[in-house]
Structure 1
Amino acid sequence: MVDSSKSDCAAEVPSLAELRDSIDSIDRQIHQLINQRAVCAQRVADAKFIEFEAAKADGRDPEEVLFYRPEREAQVLRKVMERNDGPLEGRAVAHIFREIMSACLALEKPMQVAYLGPEGTFTQAAAVKHFGHAVIPQPQQTIASVFGQVESGECNYGVVPVENSTEGMVTHTLDSFINSSLKICGEVELRIELNLMAQSGVKIEQVKTIVAHQQALAQSRLWLDKHWPHVERVAVSSNGEGAKMAAADPSVAAVAGVMAQEEYNLVSLSSGIEDFSNNTTRFLIIGREAVGSSGADKTSIAVTTRNKPGALFNLLQPFQDAGVMLTRIDTRPSRTETWTYVFFMEFEGHVDDSDVKGIMEQIREQSVVIKHLGSYPKAAL
């Protein structure tokens, strides 16, 4: 006797062909909606162009018409993750939307983004993570060059490393802010996985030099001490530059990431050589315009205080009184006066928030110079 309940259940399960047809139908709907969004983006571009021309005609600064709004994109990505109910993980869906927004923004105005190059650096990977693949990347040889390209208007935005969870702050980036008019517009956090790489076919005994950015060498110091103790290590301007050198010289091995390995057609001699598994680098997005509040922001300032007892305490007290989280404080020597220091401070909130305004006013009373480096959305991805 046949169990009718089992046969009925089997009949309800769609066939593989039917499931594929359903996927094709859903893909067509997704495609149509993406194109509808792109058309809307084009209309936004038209509206901004009209506003741009009106600003010029009225004698106003046309640069006030912003084509890229970091706070708006951060809000969209947060909403994507908040409303996501699976089965895809929220960040995975947000990355998809990141690329859709990137492509649609390129229809409005393709953006030039400077980053610490050459091709294959972690800074390039951070730029792609933040802006998507539709921007026009412009590799630069130094952090100073990234600042210069944005200041001159050659590039719309720049991406620079600022701190690593293992090795601390990137001092060149902090120093560049002291005399720059640029603002911090956003931040990116990137998990750093390091490989030791060389030309295909290179034997271990052929390697005479290991090259990388000084931060990458420091982040893999213990591993290199253990496995390659007698091989010379040379710091170069970037991991991408190190990979480029390895591609040209079989006696050179490079410490870099997968992007550099693929860019220069190298093979991995060892993978995952970073000393700490949670090795993460934070990057800053720099631009010429201030950023509006996104609802979940950070603010960065540089402060030079009077040289007197209690100066640092007086800087910190306003945060305690207002209940505002101070997320980072670092010092750098002032270049204008011997034994005077600049405090770089980062805290939660936007400069337009009432409590932040109060903190800024109190710090201004205690300092010789206070410089607002930017208020910007916290990293959404």
Structure 2
Amino acid sequence: MSEQSPEQKMDNLNQTNVSDHSNEKEFLDQLRHSIDSVDCEIQTLINNRAKLAQQVATVKKEHIAKSPTAEKTNPIFYRPEREAQVLKAVMARNTGPIADEKMARLFREIMSVCLDLEAPQRIAFLGPVGTFTHAAALKHFGKAADTVPMTTITDVFREVEAGTAMYGVVPVENSSEGVVNHTLDGFLSSTLKIIGEVELPIHQNFLVAEHTKLDGLSRIYSHQQSLAQCRHWLDVNYPNVERVAVSSNGEAARRLKNEWHSAAIAGDVAAAEYDLHKLYSNIEDNPSNTTRFLIIGHEAIAPSGQDKTSIVVSAHDKAGALIEILKPLSYHGVSMTSIETRPERPNKWAYVFFIDMDGHVNDPNVSAAINDIRPLVKDLRVLGSYPKAVL
């Protein structure tokens, strides 16, 4: 008789009622035995996937080695469009009971470990450790990536430009607070491209340390924006406790290590990094508050099937310049998703426009629209075409 597949074993167990057994322990033992069997198969399959990833790395390295000297470059192991396609396929074929996004997160970690076998990925992010940007880096690259905190957004750009980090993660906009101007300004002086995006719901937690004495609480640390996002909750629950704004939520969490009379407001990553207890979860006044982050790198990204394109345009100083720029988008049926304005330094009273649109630069309508805009402006640069956030 042939060995039953895991699916057949599960079907047999699902059709069996606990009352069919002499006691509950016998049934639980069978279930646990089946779980152990499935775990063994999962482990074997994950290792098989990892071996295939190693073979991919070998093929890429051999291809580069055989190329003419003038064409030799470092092989590219991280493929954002490929990962986006895999994760979307995972969610599309998922049948439960695990939710689609949770299943995709499991695959993200498997892919992260496999990518680490191909080539360890060093990722710069706006630090310190425990910030929401840190959480975005882990969400996008997985926990196997080597995430390195930088002091400023400018430092993240420099680290990637120098090749010390393969990629960088920077915040670009928050649904409540608006655009992050330092990130937009970074693209004005850099040749780096946008290769991906992350959307992170911002959930704030009220954190305390093991040694915190709640009856003597006198300070609550957090970033200024986080304090503002939790103002109503704080007014109701801790109206008489001093609120102290610090440089980041990670710094707020770090300060609790040596203070018994303080609490912090920060996210899950900060709680885990600094071994803090979540006294209250999701205390933000606006539960739909979300921050969008950009992944920056050097290479152009192939289409994934669901993409965005970002451009920066330097317009002529004349009436109706912006309307003229936007007409080709409408004419070619390209949907603009956002537009932001920044000063064009060092020129006085001159401005550039950052425009996001649906589609990839290789799409005929997007390409045609961009080509029609070019002769209308002083300068146009495609910052990148990249997969839309999947998770």
- Structure 1 residue 328 displacement after superposition: 0.8
Q: State whether residues 142 and 237 of structure 1, in contact with CA within 8 Å, keep that contact through their aligned partners in structure 2.
A: no
Q: Residue type matched to 2:171 in 1? A: P
Q: State whether residues 123 and 160 of structure 1, in contact with CA within 8 Å, keep that contact through their aligned partners in structure 2.
A: yes
Tell whether 2:69 aligns with 1:58.
yes
Cα distance in 2, alignment partners of residues 46 and 241 from structure 1: 42
Moved more, 11-20 or 352-361: 11-20
Aligned position for 2:34: 22
Aligned position for 2:47: 35
Aligned position for 1:170: 180
What SS class does the counterpart of residue 295 from structure 1 fall into?
Answer: coil
Q: State whether residues 212 and 242 of structure 1, in contact with CA within 8 Å, keep that contact through their aligned partners in structure 2.
A: yes
CA shift in 2, pair 1:269/1:361, >3 Å: same
What SS class does the counterpart of residue 144 from structure 1 fall into?
Answer: helix
- Structure 1 residue 302 displacement after superposition: 1.0
- Which ranges of structure 2 fall in alignment gaps of 5 or more residues? 1-15
TM-score (norm 1): 0.90
Tell whether 2:322 aligns with 1:303.
no
- Structure 1 residue 372 displacement after superposition: 1.2
What SS class does the counterpart of residue 59 from structure 1 fall into?
Answer: helix
Moved more, 333-342 or 246-255: 246-255
What SS class does the counterpart of residue 38 from structure 1 fall into?
Answer: helix
TM-score (norm 2): 0.88
- Structure 1 residue 198 displacement after superposition: 4.4
Q: Residue type matched to 1:319 in 2? A: L
What SS class does the counterpart of residue 378 from structure 2 fall into?
Answer: strand
Aligned position for 1:148: 158
Aligned position for 2:102: 92
Given candidates 307, 319, 329, the residue that maps to 1:319 is 329
Q: Residue type matched to 2:130 in 1? A: G
Given candidates 233, 236, 253, the residue that maps to 2:246 is 236
Q: Residue type matched to 1:58 in 2? A: T
Aligned position for 1:48: 60
Aligned position for 2:111: 101
- Structure 1 residue 343 displacement after superposition: 0.9
Tell whether 2:282 aligns with 1:272.
yes
Tell whether 2:89 aligns with 1:71.
no
Tell whether 2:218 aligns with 1:207.
yes
Tell whether 2:194 aligns with 1:184.
yes
What SS class does the counterpart of residue 274 from structure 1 fall into?
Answer: coil
What SS class does the counterpart of residue 54 from structure 2 fall into?
Answer: helix
Q: State whether residues 21 and 27 of structure 2, in contact with CA within 8 Å, keep that contact through their aligned partners in structure 1.
A: no
- Structure 1 residue 249 displacement after superposition: 4.2
Q: Residue type matched to 1:32 in 2? A: T
Q: State whether residues 167 and 219 of structure 1, in contact with CA within 8 Å, keep that contact through their aligned partners in structure 2.
A: no
Paired residues in the alignment total 372
CA shift in 2, pair 1:236/1:363, >3 Å: farther
- Structure 1 residue 17 displacement after superposition: 2.3
- Structure 1 residue 269 displacement after superposition: 5.7
Aligned position for 1:159: 169
Q: Deviations over 1:261-306 (max 9, x none)?
A: 2322344565433120111111111111111111110011111111
- Structure 1 residue 367 displacement after superposition: 1.3
Q: State whether residues 18 and 27 of structure 2, in contact with CA within 8 Å, keep that contact through their aligned partners in structure 1.
A: no
- Which ranges of structure 1 fall in alignment gaps of 5 or more residues? 1-6
Cα distance in 1, alignment partners of residues 232 and 380 from structure 2: 40
Q: Residue type matched to 1:292 in 2? A: A
Cα distance in 2, alignment partners of residues 8 and 206 from structure 1: 53
Cα distance in 1, alignment partners of residues 264 and 125 from structure 2: 20
What SS class does the counterpart of residue 15 from structure 1 fall into?
Answer: helix
Aligned position for 1:135: 145
Identity of aligned residues (%): 51
Q: Residue type matched to 1:332 in 2? A: R
Q: Residue type matched to 1:155 in 2? A: A
CA shift in 2, pair 1:223/1:362, >3 Å: farther
